[in-house]
Amino acid sequence: MNTLPKSWILLAIFFAAISKSYGQDALPSWNDGPAKQAIVEFVKATTTVGSPQFVAPEERIATFDQDGTLWVEHPMYSQVMFCLERVPAVVAEKPELKNIEPFKTVLSGDREAIAKLPKDELMKILAATLTGMSTEQFQAEVNAWIDTAEHPRWKKPYTALTYLPMQEVLEYLRANGFKTYIVTGGGQDFVRVYSEKVYGIPPEQVVGTAGGTKYQYDKNGNPILIKEPKLLLNDNNAGKPEGIHLMIGRRPVAAFGNSTGDQQMLEYTNAGDGARLSMILLHDDPVREYAYGPAEGLPKTRVGTFTQPLFDKANKDGWTVISIKNDWKRIFAFEE
């Protein structure tokens, strides 16, 4: 009879775990409204046994864009910041680059000039800072950067600038048997370094823009993989569903994005049978975060292009628009 208390403790833990996912409000940072309601109803419809829209656990795939959907993308993608900040180290190793463009401009620190660098010049920076080293060296470099880099506005690490309401959606979906994936236009190897720590998403569930690697041996004869400037997957636009097929092999039932680069992922997800959740995030809060896209008529930026046609398509196809201003009670975990 003395095992009875232990068994009761186990059961208590068991029921506590259940009530965590069902009993409380799983989305406390969301205001009541159509966006929150769409998420909760989708989860209920797809996970209730006997529901006509029930989705088998192994088919519960949810995909999330990262920049502008899971964390702040303004004024510049974090990965571009990483690349720019790596330039001094690259030039220290190859001093001949010092007086050559675009490295010269980046070293000058002139923010306006850097922001105006044409795309093919920017690609030279990316190639120089993202390739040519072993995958392990690269991981160490990203890790060191992510631990120290700060966002210029909030003076906080980028990893603190994830959207709390989206973290709640990730948790809520996982508690209901969904496998959550990041599907990002950013570098797959870059995001994989911190995805587990920041979002609870393991590296193998990160799909992103990916380059090739070359298997070879270091001077001690140990096998290493060297990152090559060879594009295998441009994980933007049509590349998102193509990347999802390559890396996951199933069509998602839920997808979240915030720009034209996510359009095909959202429509591919939405075109499947049964219950579907396609959500698109509108940055319409100039005070607490940023406002860009059709809601404010801001000038086009390099990041997060949410155009009027995309807005129209979202409404026409029955995607749900998330308004940061109206749907989010709280944006960041560090806020009161």
Residues that bind a second copy (CB under 8 A): 7-8, 10-11, 14, 58, 135, 179, 188-189, 192, 196, 202-204, 206, 210, 212-215, 222-223, 225, 232-233, 238, 241-242, 245-250, 264, 267-268, 271
Q: Which is nearer to a second copy, 66 or 264 (CB)?
A: 264
How far is the C-alpha of 192 from the C-alpha of 92, rounded, in Å? Answer: 27
Find the shortest distance in angstroms from Cβ 236 to a second copy.
12
Q: Which is nearer to a second copy, 37 or 216 (CB)?
A: 216
Token readout for 10 is 């186990």
Torsion of CA 181, 257, 159, 194, to 10 degrees: 30
Q: Judging by beta carbons within 10 Å of its beta carbon (0-12, 13-18, 19+), is residue 10 exposed, middle or buried? A: exposed
Cβ contacts of 257 within 8 Å, gap of 6 or more: 64, 65, 69, 263, 265, 266, 279, 280, 281
Q: Are 163 and 332 in contact (CB under 8 A)?
A: yes
Distance set, CA 325 to CA 31, 285, 322, 328 (Å):
10, 5, 9, 6
How far is the C-alpha of 134 from the C-alpha of 37, rounded, in Å? Answer: 46
Find the shortest distance in angstroms from Cβ 261 to a second copy.
13
Find the shortest distance in angstroms from Cβ 84 to a second copy.
25
Q: Which is nearer to a second copy, 29 or 269 (CB)?
A: 269
How far is the C-alpha of 49 from the C-alpha of 55, rounded, in Å? Answer: 9
Q: Which is nearer to a second copy, 165 or 261 (CB)?
A: 261
Q: Which is nearer to a second copy, 50 or 223 (CB)?
A: 223
Find the shortest distance in angstroms from Cβ 171 to a second copy.
17
Find the shortest distance in angstroms from Cβ 280 to a second copy.
16
Which residue, 275, 268, 282, 283, is CA-closest to 315?
Answer: 282
Token readout for 224 is 């290493």
Q: Which is nearer to a second copy, 196 or 296 (CB)?
A: 196
Q: Which is nearer to a second copy, 148 or 220 (CB)?
A: 220
Which residue, 269, 299, 268, 295, is CA-closest to 281?
Answer: 295
Find the shortest distance in angstroms from Cβ 305 to a second copy.
19
